[in-house]
């Protein structure tokens, strides 16, 4: 059998911010609806309903001295150490994010130079052949970066690629919007390397879709819901939650199945599904509908690890953080059998609207 070049994961790293923000921290917030009307329900009831829908108990925020490129750099150092590689050998550094560096005390985006260039600078990499690029692709950005890295490796353009997902959503969320309780900060990095093998290993297949005609503005930027702040000029992350939920429930399972079909895999072949930690109930519903596409009524236990209850939704950082925790046996009840050849599925949905999925064999 003729060998081929495959993209395999050789190292992971993450940075989990130190500030733990529990749901009780929002008890004093003034919440308004989209029309600028103060919500009539008491905050205790709003927060309890939020928990029942999302399963989020707490989230992590960065300290005031850090920005997105800082935590991306910290995750990158961990991944390089994990892979045991020389940083000068990296052919590409890809950083997925959506807001650049946002300093404490402002919500202004700073993206020049690119975050990848900033990370390369912080790593003190001298090699001009280490190409530093950014991907703003909504929450699926890290996974899209992995897909691009796979193309680089299979084409012969690269042998080692680092893909980072990093975000500080706490600095672009509207404290007067109850959806702000979803958002968190975090960063994680993954090293992909080229490896020749006769049998398929590493990245087996992937599938991406982008629905912009109808769904482009499911997530968007706009002024605060607090009418007293409308004229200040600041804009914050907003979402049409119910419509987004239905879009994801309808399309993510089909995208995952399409990915598995490309590599002739069935859902029974999958050991773990690493899905974007967006909303606990939504993720449960997505995976249940995925199994229904295979005429299965029940989802196996421990197939879908979740960390959203204590880390919240950190956008592009959720899946690589989850991967890092499992890869290093830091998530109780879950492990990757690196000798048996476990099959992992990654999937994400987010602003655009964009969806992607990827199948990976250990």
Cα–Cα distance for residue pair 199/4, rounded to 1 Å: 8
pLDDT of residue 232: 84
pLDDT of residue 333: 86
Q: What is the pLDDT of residues 130-186, one digit of tens each?
A: 999 999 999 999 999 999 999 999 999 999 999 999 999 999 999 999 999 999 999
pLDDT of residue 2: 79
Looking at the structure, tell me whether residues 184 and 209 fall in a common domain: no
More reliable by pLDDT, 312 or 107: 312
Looking at the structure, tell me whether residues 33 and 171 fall in a common domain: yes
CB of 236 within 8 A of CB of 172?
yes
pLDDT of residue 202: 97
Looking at the structure, tell me whether residues 214 and 84 fall in a common domain: no
Q: What is the pLDDT of residues 230-266, one digit of tens each?
A: 888 899 999 999 999 999 999 999 999 999 999 999 9
Reported as type and span, the H/E element at residue 343 is strand 343-350
pLDDT of residue 157: 95
Looking at the structure, tell me whether residues 68 and 168 fall in a common domain: yes
pLDDT of residue 101: 98
State which of 168, 197, 226 marks the end of a domain.
197
> CA triplet 353, 356, 358: central angle to 5 degrees?
175
User: Contacts by 128-132 with C-beta closer than 8 Å and gap 24+?
Assistant: 129/91, 130/88, 130/90, 130/91, 130/92, 130/93, 131/91, 131/92, 131/93, 132/92, 132/93, 132/95
Looking at the structure, tell me whether residues 139 and 178 fall in a common domain: yes
Looking at the structure, tell me whether residues 356 and 314 fall in a common domain: yes
Q: What is the pLDDT of residues 269-292, one digit of tens each?
A: 999 999 999 999 999 999 999 999
CA 170 to chain centre: 15
Tell me how many domains the chain contains: 2
CB of 150 within 8 A of CB of 37?
no
> CA triplet 265, 267, 270: central angle to 5 degrees?
85
Instruction: Please provide the average confidence, as pLDDT, over all residues in the chain.
Output: 96
In this structure, the number of other CB atoms found within 10 A of the CB of residue 61 comes to 22
CB of 10 within 8 A of CB of 192?
yes
pLDDT of residue 1: 62
Tell me the CATH number at 173: 3.40.47.10
State which of 182, 197, 212 marks the end of a domain.
197
Looking at the structure, tell me whether residues 36 and 155 fall in a common domain: yes
Looking at the structure, tell me whether residues 146 and 39 fall in a common domain: yes
pLDDT of 195 strictly over 70: yes
Looking at the structure, tell me whether residues 155 and 276 fall in a common domain: no
Looking at the structure, tell me whether residues 188 and 248 fall in a common domain: no
Structural domain boundaries enclosing 244: 202-361
What's the Rg (C-alpha) of the chain?
20
Looking at the structure, tell me whether residues 178 and 230 fall in a common domain: no
Mean pLDDT of 36-52: 96
Mean pLDDT of 290-304: 95
State which of 174, 197, 220 marks the end of a domain.
197
Cα–Cα distance for residue pair 304/91, rounded to 1 Å: 32
pTM: 0.96
pLDDT of 99 strictly over 90: yes
User: Contacts by 243-249 with C-beta closer than 8 Å and gap 24+?
Assistant: 243/215, 243/218, 244/218, 244/219, 244/353, 245/279, 245/282, 247/211, 247/215, 247/218, 247/349, 247/353, 248/278, 248/282, 248/286, 248/349, 248/355, 249/282, 249/285, 249/286, 249/289
Looking at the structure, tell me whether residues 219 and 347 fall in a common domain: yes
């Amino acid at each position: 059998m003729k060998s081929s070049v495959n993209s395999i994961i050789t190292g992971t790293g993450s940075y989990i911010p130190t500030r733990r923000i529990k749901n009780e921290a929002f008890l004093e917030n003034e919440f308004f609806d989209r029309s600028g009307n103060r919500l009539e329900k008491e905050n205790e009831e709003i927060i309890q309903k939020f928990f029942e829908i999302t399963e989020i108990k707490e989230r992590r925020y960065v300290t005031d001295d850090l920005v997105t490129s800082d935590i991306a750099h910290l995750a990158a150092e961990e991944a390089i150490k994990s892979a045991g590689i020389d940083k000068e050998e990296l052919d590409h550094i890809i950083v997925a994010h959506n807001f650049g560096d946002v300093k404490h005390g402002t919500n202004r985006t700073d993206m020049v130079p690119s975050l990848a260039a900033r990370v390369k600078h912080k790593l003190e990499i001298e090699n001009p052949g280490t190409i530093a690029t950014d991907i703003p692709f909504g929450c699926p950005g890290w996974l899209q970066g992995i897909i691009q890295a796979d193309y680089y490796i299979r084409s012969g353009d690269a042998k080692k690629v680092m893909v980072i997902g990093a975000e500080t959503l706490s600095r672009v969320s509207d404290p007067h919007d109850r959806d702000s309780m979803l958002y968190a900060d975090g960063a994680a990095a993954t090293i992909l390397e080229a490896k020749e093998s006769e049998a398929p290993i590493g990245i087996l297949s992937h599938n991406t879709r982008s629905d912009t005609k109808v769904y482009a503005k499911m997530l968007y930027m706009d002024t605060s819901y607090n009418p007293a702040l409308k004229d200040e000029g600041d804009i914050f992350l907003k979402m049409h939650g119910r419509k987004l939920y239905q879009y994801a429930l309808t399309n993510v399972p089909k995208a995952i199945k399409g990915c598995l079909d490309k590599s002739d895999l069935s859902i029974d072949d999958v050991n773990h599904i690493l899905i974007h930690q967006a909303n606990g109930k939504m993720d449960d519903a997505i995976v249940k509908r995925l199994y229904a596409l295979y005429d299965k009524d029940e989802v196996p236990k421990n197939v879908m690890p979740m960390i959203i209850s204590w880390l919240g939704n950190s956008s592009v950082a959720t899946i690589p953080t989850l991967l890092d925790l499992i890869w290093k046996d830091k998530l109780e009840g879950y492990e990757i059998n690196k000798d048996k050849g476990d099959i992992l599925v990654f999937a994400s949905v987010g602003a655009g609207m964009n969806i992607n999925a990827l199948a990976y064999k250990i």
